[in-house]
């Protein structure tokens, strides 16, 4: 397993390398697309929260806990990238826009969560937040002129004085320069600072 980690760190990939230990709540064999179908992620309902208490920018740590399927590498325009690398971590800024039960999340300017993603996660996700702080957003995006599609859903919890937490699920699929991609990625997301 150490060889997998070394190659992942050095090259961003190694065939057959998957996360060795994944939280029990994450099913690394699951490729059930229903929660990530485009019509589902584009119609996540609003919640019952009132106010805009959690609007703002959050610095977060994203950690890949599962990469299942054909996750690269992808070669396009002279650049090689991996869609998902087990154990990869990165700090990213996300911005929450809460208007009562309506919640929108914008990802940082280059539109990615996680290392080596290069925009594989849709930049804007819409959904809702409930009065207990649970939230659910989804979105759809494309890359490489529509040849690569991605659906994403992030579900989590936010409470005043506690870190914002969430689980990012993404399905990336399509064909780019004869390379087929059909990758299911799961990441854990937690804010560096607690919500105010």
Give the pLDDT score at 153: 94
Structure token digits, residue 163: 């870190």
Given a cut of 90, is residue 24 above it in pLDDT?
A: no
- pLDDT tens profile 44-74: 999 999 999 999 988 888 899 999 999 878 8
Given a cut of 90, is residue 143 above it in pLDDT?
A: no
- The enclosing H or E element of 139 equals strand 134-143
Structure token digits, residue 62: 């994203």
Given a cut of 60, is residue 84 above it in pLDDT?
A: yes
Structure token digits, residue 31: 């490729």
**How many whole angstroms separate alpha carbon 89 and alpha carbon 92?**
10
The model carries a pTM of 0.77
Alpha helices, H only, the chain: 2-11, 38-41
- The enclosing H or E element of 164 equals strand 163-176
- pLDDT tens profile 115-136: 334 456 777 899 999 999 999 9
- pLDDT tens profile 27-41: 444 445 578 999 999
Provide the 3-class DSSP secondary structure of residue 2: helix
DSSP state of 25: T
């Amino acid at each position: 397993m150490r060889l997998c980690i070394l190659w992942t760190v050095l090259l961003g990939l190694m065939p057959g390398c998957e996360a060795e230990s994944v939280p029990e709540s994450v099913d690394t064999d699951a490729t059930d697309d229903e929660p990530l179908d485009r019509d589902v992620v584009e119609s996540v309902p609003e919640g019952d929260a009132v106010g805009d208490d959690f609007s703002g920018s959050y610095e977060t740590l994203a950690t890949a806990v599962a990469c299942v399927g054909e996750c690269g590498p992808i070669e396009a325009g002279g650049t090689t990238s991996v869609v998902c690398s087990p154990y990869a971590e990165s700090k990213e800024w996300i911005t929450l826009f809460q208007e009562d039960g309506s919640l929108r999340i914008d990802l940082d300017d280059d539109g990615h969560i996680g290392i080596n993603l290069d925009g594989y996660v849709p930049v804007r996700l819409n959904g809702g937040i409930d009065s207990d702080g649970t939230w659910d957003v989804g979105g759809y995006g494309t890359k490489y002129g529509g040849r690569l599609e991605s659906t994403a859903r992030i579900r989590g919890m936010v409470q005043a004085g506690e870190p914002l937490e969430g689980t990012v699920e993404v399905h990336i699929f399509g064909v780019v320069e004869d390379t087929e991609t059909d990758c299911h990625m799961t990441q854990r997301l937690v804010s560096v600072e607690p919500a105010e």
